[in-house]
Structure 1
Amino acid sequence: MSSTTDHGAATPANARVNATGRQRKKFELRRGTRKLTLALHVVTSVGWVGLSLSMAVLAVMGYTTEDAAIAKGVYYAMYVFDDTSVTVFSLAAAITGILLSCGTKWGLLLHWWIVVKWVITLFMTFFAWFVIHPIVMDASERTATAGGAAPDPGGAGVFLVWSVPALFVLLTVAAVVSVYKPWGKTSRGRAAQPAGRRR
């Protein structure tokens, strides 16, 4: 299908006109690339949710156990997960999400559900690395020096026991939002519609 300019010339539907009047073709993923990107996005997003749930269980276990050896192992496991899998899965989910938004009809800033999901993803990625990561290291170091005494992760353990489950809830919200796609289009999305279809 094609659209027409003011001069009656046909322009492709996936082309845009910039301020100088020149056509600018919209970035679009090919079908095979789109499916591969979608598969990677689903796998990494679901994997991230699973890792987040595992981290939440470990955080609760580390804070409630009275066995120093278990606490040490739990926080070390959290450190390893956070330093490897969580970082890789979160970055991969974010990158593939951007590619899918920009390379499909949805657009990056055209629908509120994509904006909300993108904000959650960005927040989770930075919070996990710059906040959770050093606190997990602190809790791991505290329990590693406990010896035979009862473990005391201190404030680090308290912070992890409520923040990590909260992050799991946020990821779950992002997953639900991507299924239901609520809230309609943003003002930019409405402006990008043909004049006759705007509400």
Structure 2
Amino acid sequence: MSAPTTAPGKTGHQDARKKKKFELSRRGRKLTLAVHVVTSVGWVGLSLSMAVLALMGYTTDDAAVAKGVYYAMYVFDDTSVTVFSVTASISGILLSCGTAWGLLLHWWIIAKWVITLFMTIFAWFVIHPIVMKATENTAEAGGAPPRPGWPADFLVWSVPALFVLLTAAAVISVYKPWGRTARGRRATARPRRT
């Protein structure tokens, strides 16, 4: 007599549906975790660098320094920040969906996703154009005193705030607070497949 293919009380359809769930292999999970940690930490480091540059651009009276600062911010923002934020986001989704943590089962994962989504949208659609404007304003100044204008005012408080949010996301991922969501509690209440 062959062993049953489904757990007691389960239909074959439910068991087949469980088998279709995306799951990372052990090696895949470790690789994805390594990519996620490296790109997330890199994003935090880039964010701190951008905050320091925004402060330098705001406080300097040297036109050459201001021009260099805002150009450096533009280069970081246009290249590294985009790559690191997108890679950290995608690897985070893979880890959530491909492991037992699940995407919507824990409040800490949802909090990290809200922060990540806000950061990515805000950085690309708000910060990026303002960095470009500050770069243009200081490039036009020539050797005269720098005139980055309102973009410098905006960047000096918004970029450090983004660094604080990214740091909070990192701390949340270490402490994993707030427990399971209602969906997560229902998932653990279901009997497991044998």
Q: TM-score, normalised by structure 1?
A: 0.88
Residue 148 of structure 1 and its aligned partner are, at CA, apart by: 2.2
Residue 79 of structure 1 and its aligned partner are, at CA, apart by: 0.2
Among 109, 112, 127, the alignment partner of 1:132 is 127
| Match of residue 6 from structure 1 | 9
Distance 1:79 1:60 in 2: 15
Among 18, 22, 25, the alignment partner of 1:24 is 18
Higher relative contact order, structure no. (Cα contacts within 8 Å, ≥ 6 residues apart): 2
Distance 1:34 1:43 in 2: 14
| CA deviation string 1:15-37 (max 9, x = no partner) | x93xxx85332211000011000
| Match of residue 62 from structure 2 | 67
Structure 1 residue matching 2:18: 3-state secondary structure: strand
| Match of residue 46 from structure 1 | 41
Residue 3 of structure 1 and its aligned partner are, at CA, apart by: 7.8
Distance 1:150 1:111 in 2: 52
Q: Structure 2: which amino acid aligns with 1:138?
A: K
1:56 is aligned to 2:39: no
Distance 1:49 1:3 in 2: 46
- Paired residues in the alignment total 187
Structure 2 residue matching 1:43: 3-state secondary structure: helix
Unaligned runs of 5+ in 2: none
Higher helix share: 2
Distance 1:53 1:3 in 2: 52
Distance 2:74 2:154 in 1: 15
Residue 195 of structure 1 and its aligned partner are, at CA, apart by: 5.0
Distance 1:113 1:103 in 2: 17
Distance 2:69 2:44 in 1: 19
Unaligned runs of 5+ in 1: none
Residue 49 of structure 1 and its aligned partner are, at CA, apart by: 0.3
Distance 2:68 2:152 in 1: 14
Q: TM-score, normalised by structure 2?
A: 0.91
Runs of 4+ in 1 over 4 A off after TM superposition: none
RMSD: 2.0
| Match of residue 189 from structure 1 | 184
| CA deviation string 1:120-139 (max 9, x = no partner) | 11111111111100000000
